[in-house]
Amino acid sequence: MENLTLNNGVQIPQLGLGVFLVEDANDLKNSIADALKDGYRHFDTAAIYHNEAGVGEALAESDVKREDLFITSKVWDSVQTYDETIAAFHESLKKLQTDYLDLYLIHWPSNGYEEKWRAMESLYNDGLIKAIGVSNFEQPQMDKLLASAKIKPMVDQVETHPYFQRKDLNAYLTDLNIAHEAWGPLGQGKSGVFTDATLTKIAADHDKSIAQVILRWHLQRNIIVIPKSVHAERIAQNIDVFDFTLSDAEMTAIAGIDKNQRGSADPNDEDWLNKSLEMN
């Protein structure tokens, strides 16, 4: 497993397991056990996923030491004030059966994110979080946050896949020394990337799956990836991407298939952000 170093010196495993939409207790427990066996140490959840307790239970039952794990969670949009953020964080800690988080993120740039950030800075300064960051922040929201932040975010986790490559955002984050983390790195199975002719050819040339080629492409862009799966075979396959390298020509070819095709909600959609405040 390869690590990236965040702007505060913390090491983050560049590939982890995402658990978005995995609510079945057995699926969750089995997928985490399979992932641990295959060498995963980075696990990404969120309050809104309603599975933090299951993740905490599965990790507590393993024989992997807490200091060898990297656990991420996120504070949801309905939490808006400083005090609510502190309370939500401690609720996540309790569910995850841990006394600190490795990474805590603001899930979306909904109203109140500056106050949430202030609370996260306090938690970080108190040593309760190793690294703090944001998710789904585009450049305007990041610029606004940076204007008042005392601590620069370490990570921005955003939808990124071969049909939505985020080249401009990637360059912006790189300039700021903020790590780019991809959610939906394989297009969430709905983007059409698995039938793409360019990716199909590259996969055949390396005797790898299209998913493995996509994950390798992310890694070579210095992007953190958290592919989600509940299937043991795919979990094993997704981490088996450190024994080959894509050539410059192959990286260029993949750069050429970008469609700027967003598959989920747009962080700039104020109506969606306002509706998210009602979700729990």
| Residues of the binding site | 107
| Residues of the binding site for substrate | 107
Q: Residue 43 is encoded by which pair of tokens?
A: 């696990």
- pLDDT level of residue 264 (50, 70, 90 thresholds): confident
pTM: 0.96
- pLDDT level of residue 149 (50, 70, 90 thresholds): very high
Q: State the Cα–Cα distance between residues 33 and 48, nearest whole angstrom.
A: 22
Q: What H or E segment, with its residue span, contains residue 55?
A: helix 52-61
Q: State the Cα–Cα distance between residues 41 and 62, nearest whole angstrom.
A: 11
Domain boundaries, the chain: 3-276
Q: Name the residue with higher pLDDT: 75 or 22.
A: 75
Q: State the Cα–Cα distance between residues 136 and 266, nearest whole angstrom.
A: 8
Please provide the average confidence, as pLDDT, over all residues in the chain: 94
**Could you read off the pLDDT of 193-251 as tens digits, one per residue?**
999 999 999 999 999 999 999 999 999 999 999 998 889 999 999 999 999 999 999 99
Q: State the Cα–Cα distance between residues 32 and 64, nearest whole angstrom.
A: 12
- pLDDT level of residue 111 (50, 70, 90 thresholds): confident
Residue 73 pLDDT: 97
Non-local CB neighbours of 143 within 8 Å, separated by 6+ positions: none
Angle at alpha carbon of residue 226, lines to 193 and 58, rounded to 5°: 130
Based on the residue annotation, tell me whether 49 is a catalytic residue of this protein. Answer: yes
Non-local CB neighbours of 193 within 8 Å, separated by 6+ positions: 161, 162, 163, 186, 187, 199, 210, 214
In this structure, the strands spanning 3-5 and 11-13 are antiparallel
Is the distance from CB of 265 to CB of 183 less than 8 angstroms?
A: no
Report H helices in 69-112.
Answer: 82-96
Catalytic residue among 49, 104, 113, 124: 49
Q: State the Cα–Cα distance between residues 126 and 93, nearest whole angstrom.
A: 14
Q: Name the residue with higher pLDDT: 279 or 57.
A: 57
What topology does CATH give the domain 3-276? TIM Barrel (3.20.20)
Q: What H or E segment, with its residue span, contains residue 102?
A: strand 101-106
DSSP category for residue 12: E
Which of 171-175, 242-246, 266-270 shows the lowest per-residue confidence on average (mean pLDDT)?
A: 266-270
Amino acid 36 reads L
Q: State the Cα–Cα distance between residues 33 and 36, nearest whole angstrom.
A: 5
Residue 185 pLDDT: 94
Task: For residue 1, give the nearest of 199, 189, 242 by alpha carbon.
Answer: 242
Q: State the Cα–Cα distance between residues 136 and 127, nearest whole angstrom.
A: 25
With a cut of 80, say whether residue 120 has pLDDT above it.
yes
Virtual torsion, Cα 35, 56, 152, 112, nearest 10 deg? 130
- Return the percentage of the chain with pLDDT > 90, whole number: 84
**Could you read off the pLDDT of 16-49 as tens digits, one per residue?**
999 887 778 888 999 999 999 999 999 999 999 8
Residue 259 pLDDT: 95
Q: State the Cα–Cα distance between residues 233 and 239, nearest whole angstrom.
A: 10
